[in-house]
Amino acid sequence: MKRGKARMLRAKIEQASGSLPDEDALEAVELFPAWQPETDYSNGQRVRHEGLLYRLIPETHHSQADWPPNLTPAIWARVDNPAEEWPEWRQPLGAHDAYPAGAKVSHNGKHWINTYGDGNIWEPGEFGWTEAQ
């Protein structure tokens, strides 16, 4: 296959992968374009970085080399499998990624349920979480 044809097919694959639900996308992270610095991205666009899938939060973003997805959770949200019942807890940075009422997480080898209500930003075991029995 010629290089030009391969590039065209890769662009089509990346375009088609954008419509996959998160559950399916997580099974095929390699289909998504690798995050690149000095690139324009739009709201909801998913990219792969260090083997993980991320979704852009703001309307638009021009990436910078020193702001990769794994270091900028206010810009890039890691895509987790919605079918996973007890995902690992991550510290929310604000309202955009705070935990909703009833959220379930794993933290320090235990399972926790958010009993605070919507907008929980506290660490399980500190406040607003009940250990699941």
Note the pLDDT tens digit of each residue in 6-19: 888 888 888 888 88
34 and 14 in one domain? yes
72 and 20 in one domain? yes
At position 89, the amino acid (one-letter code) is W
Could you list the residue range(s) of the whole structural domain that residue 43 is in?
1-80
The pLDDT of 73-93, averaged and rounded, is: 89
11 and 76 in one domain? yes
96 and 56 in one domain? no
Lowest mean pLDDT among 82-91, 102-111, 114-123: 82-91
Q: What tokens were used for 60?
A: 């638009």
Note the pLDDT tens digit of each residue in 23-70: 899 999 999 999 999 999 999 999 999 999 999 998 999 999 999 999
pLDDT of residue 66: 96
Instruction: Flag whether pLDDT at 96 surpasses 80.
Output: no
1 and 60 in one domain? yes
Instruction: Flag whether pLDDT at 1 surpasses 70.
Output: no
Residue 64 CA: distances (Å) to CA of 25, 53, 57, 93, 95:
25, 18, 16, 20, 24
Note the pLDDT tens digit of each residue in 58-75: 899 999 999 999 999 889
Contacts of 14 (CB under 8 A, 6+ apart): 31, 32, 33
22 and 72 in one domain? yes
pLDDT-based confidence at residue 83 (cuts at 50, 70, 90): confident
pTM: 0.71
Phi first, then psi: what are they for 116, rounded to 5°? Answer: -70, -40
94 and 37 in one domain? no
From the list 122, 123, 10, 20, the residue with the least C-alpha distance to 79 is 20
Length of the chain: 133
